[in-house]
Amino acid sequence: MWQTIRLKLLDWSAPVNKALDILFFLLAVLAIGSLVTQYGFYISVQQARLLDRLDLIVVLLYVLQFVLRLIFTRNYAEFLRRHWFETLLATVIILRAVSLFSSLGFGLIAHYFTDLNVTVIAKLTIVSAQIAIILSLISGSMHLNRKVLSLKFHPAQTLLLSFVLVIFVGTVLLLLPKATAPGKSISAINALFTATSATCVTGLIVVDTGTHFSFLGQMIILFLIQIGGLGLMTLSSFLALFFGRGMGIKERVMMQEMMNIDRLGVINRALRLAVTLTFLFESIGAFFLFLSWNRNQWSFGEHVYHSVFHAVSAFCNAGFSLNADSFMSFSQNYAAMSVIMILIVIGGLGFVVLMDIGNIRIKPVTGHKVVRRWSVQTKLVLIVTGILLLSGTLILMLTQPFEGNGFNRFMQALFSSVTARTAGFNTVDFSMFNIPSVLLIITLMFIGASPGSTGGGIKTTTVGILFASLVSIISGKNRIVLFRKSVSYTVLNRALVIFAFSIIVISVSTFFLTITEHAPLIDLFFEEVSAYATVGLSRGVTAQLSDWGQLIIILSMFIGRVGALTLAFAITPPKDKPRVEYPQEKSVMVG
């Protein structure tokens, strides 16, 4: 008899699941609306109690829809395996509900929902329900990748749209009344600027992060930095793996192009390693920052909060700080400066390079022992990074008269050289730098970090390839050779496109800034390069920008973060066309 009932239930599985999808969507809308209203707006006690009851109803309906999905599934074991997190969450909620009913009774619980003045349900229960809502929304958002992929976007278009979505949501959240400190407010353009700067891990600010925003606003900025550093699709794909949902072939292809991985079969492992390394380095950095602060007036909680915020900001090369003067008040705290510099450099190397350096195999090797050698990219990244950091430090020591003894001058020069590589922190006032030092900082900002990292700029490998091609041309060679490996001219063409595109964007944006703003050309040029390279350093121009100036900088930050090639592929995705060979023309003269 049970088998007959079971077969009849399965006949209704498709329409029931569709109805449950609609129910879950409505629950998600209600849950998000409730959470945003409670934590983003100033509401009355009665309104808060009403929303508390709504939260409990949403949680109970969430459990109901999960149980119905389980009833109408064809394979119980497979369903529970693939939805282990939702199973655990629903079990905890059911046990908590049974505990409440047994201790309070059904009548008192029913009275709680009909009389707003009844406060029989403990606040802990309400908070637990809200946490359950957030976790359920996260687990439900795993369908995001498949929904996006069903639209058949090119990976470059998906990446671009994901940044647009995050910036839009971040802007809306920063406009919430409780996102700013009491007595403070923020305009729409300033919220958009801040959300873009955080998502694009730039660090340029029009209002002070530590004083203008509340704890909620600062946490929104921190989450935007984390999402911007890793990428929305990277995080959502990682969560899909974590919650046991897996990745389809289309998702793997998309992540392969986004992460610059040459083998499709290792995407899952590379994704896990990238996110794990990010959280690992941020945690270690936060721990050592906690030991490095020399602020006795801070409480234990403030020490922890400052450590976590600045560790995430430093590793993601974001440059956002809770201190009004960034790290100028810590210019003598060499321990904190060292931790920040190490996080910046590691975050700017790129995940593939970090795995290569740490001898972490993306694809496990079985059988006989394989000799591991660093790839050409790893060698090129390390050499160019080392040259830029050392030469930048030495030139700054010669051109910029830093205060203090020799070691202090060295530390200030080193920190300035490191932070110019897309990080945005500062221990000295860059508006006081002389022209030679400013030009050097602009050059370092323009080059930026390495591909596949959290930093911006045209990338160290781009400069390395261009320099290698220049050497090859001057020496009369007909090919580019790096570390006894021949480099494809396709790579050179991409490097040339990135370089030329970046020059054009910076030049055009600077031209428009000279029209909209009233500031010295060198300051505007510095601001534009800082924005495009997602650095975050400024010579005091950012807070004085007009609305048009902010829009120009916003666009520059966005273009600089997504990259020239990504933007080009998003606008005109490459299509497979029949190969056509044209006769060569050698009579065109250049130079």
pLDDT tens by residue, 415-457:
999 999 888 899 999 989 999 999 999 999 999 988 878 788 8
Give the closest residue to 82 by CA, choosing from 92, 93, 69, 95: 69
Residue 135 pLDDT more than 90?
no
Q: Given this model, what pLDDT does residue 75 score?
A: 80
Give the closest residue to 66 by CA, choosing from 42, 99, 90, 40: 90
Give the closest residue to 380 by CA, choosing from 301, 485, 287, 304: 485
- 45-71 and 13-40 helices, crossing angle to 10°: 160
Q: What predicted TM-score, i.e. pTM, was given to this entire model?
A: 0.86
Task: Taking residues 47-53, report their average pLDDT.
Answer: 88
Q: Given this model, what pLDDT does residue 265 score?
A: 52
Q: How far apart are CA 531 and CA 528, in angstroms?
A: 5
Tell me how crowded residue 335 is: count the other CB atoms within 10 A of its CB.
14
For the ranges 73-82, 325-334, 566-575, the lowest mean pLDDT is seen at 566-575
Helix (H) or strand (E) holding 279: helix 267-292
Banded pLDDT at 578 (limits 50, 70, 90): low
Maximum distance among all Cα pairs of the chain, rounded to whole angstroms: 93
Task: Taking residues 224-233, report their average pLDDT.
Answer: 81
| Cβ contact 51:113 at 8 Å | no
Share of the chain above pLDDT 90, in %: 39
Q: How far apart are CA 472 and CA 454, in angstroms?
A: 31
Q: What are phi and psi of 480, to 5 degrees?
A: -100, 125
More confident residue, 513 or 568: 513
Q: Which residue matches tokens 């800082």?
A: 530
**CB contact burial 161-172 (16+ within 10 A = b; e otherwise):** bbbeebbebbbb
Residues 6+ apart with CB under 8 A from 263: 256, 362, 363
- DSSP-derived secondary structure letter, 265: G
Q: Given this model, what pLDDT does residue 416 score?
A: 94
Task: Taking residues 400-413, report their average pLDDT.
Answer: 90
Task: Taking residues 106-122, report their average pLDDT.
Answer: 78
Give the closest residue to 562 by CA, choosing from 163, 261, 271, 154: 163
Q: Given this model, what pLDDT does residue 584 score?
A: 62
| Cβ contact 171:188 at 8 Å | yes
Q: Are strands 485-487 and 480-482 parallel, antiparallel or unpaired?
A: antiparallel
Percent helix / strand / coil, the chain, rounded to 5: 70, 0, 30
Tokens representing 250?
Answer: 């289309």
- In order, the DSSP letters of 465-512 are HHHHHHHHHHTT-SSEEETTEEEPHHHHHHHHHHHHHHHHHHHHHHHH
Q: Given this model, what pLDDT does residue 487 score?
A: 82
Q: Given this model, what pLDDT does residue 382 score?
A: 92
| Cβ contact 239:190 at 8 Å | no
In one-letter notation, the amino acid at residue 40 is G
Q: Given this model, what pLDDT does residue 231 score?
A: 72
- Residue 283: exposed, middle, or buried by beta-carbon count in 10 A (0-12, 13-18, 19+)? middle
For the ranges 35-49, 226-240, 463-477, the lowest mean pLDDT is seen at 226-240
Q: How far apart are CA 463 and CA 448, in angstroms?
A: 10
Tokens representing 44?
Answer: 């009355």
Banded pLDDT at 399 (limits 50, 70, 90): very high
In 38-79, DSSP assigns E strands to none
Banded pLDDT at 250 (limits 50, 70, 90): low
Taking only the tens place, the pLDDT of each residue in 191-223 is: 999 999 999 989 899 999 999 999 999 999 999
More confident residue, 373 or 495: 495
| Cβ contact 193:553 at 8 Å | yes
Residue 540 pLDDT more than 60?
yes
Q: Given this model, what pLDDT does residue 450 score?
A: 87
Can you name the residues that pair with 213 across neighbouring β-strands? 180
Task: Taking residues 384-408, report their average pLDDT.
Answer: 91
| Residue 360 backbone class (left: φ over 0; alpha: ψ -120 to 50; beta: rest) | beta
Tell me the pLDDT of the chain averaged across its residues: 83
Q: How far apart are CA 261 and CA 267, in angstroms?
A: 7
More confident residue, 531 or 100: 531
Tokens representing 34?
Answer: 């409730």
Task: Taking residues 7-19, report their average pLDDT.
Answer: 76
Task: Taking residues 487-491, report their average pLDDT.
Answer: 83
Residues 6+ apart with CB under 8 A from 372: 359, 361
Banded pLDDT at 563 (limits 50, 70, 90): confident
Banded pLDDT at 245 (limits 50, 70, 90): low
Taking only the tens place, the pLDDT of each residue in 289-311 is: 999 998 888 899 999 999 999 99
Contacts 24+ apart (CB under 8 A), 107-110: none
Q: How far apart are CA 408 and CA 403, in angstroms?
A: 7
Task: Taking residues 85-89, report their average pLDDT.
Answer: 80
Q: Given this model, what pLDDT does residue 258 score?
A: 55
More confident residue, 156 or 141: 156
Task: Taking residues 495-514, report their average pLDDT.
Answer: 93
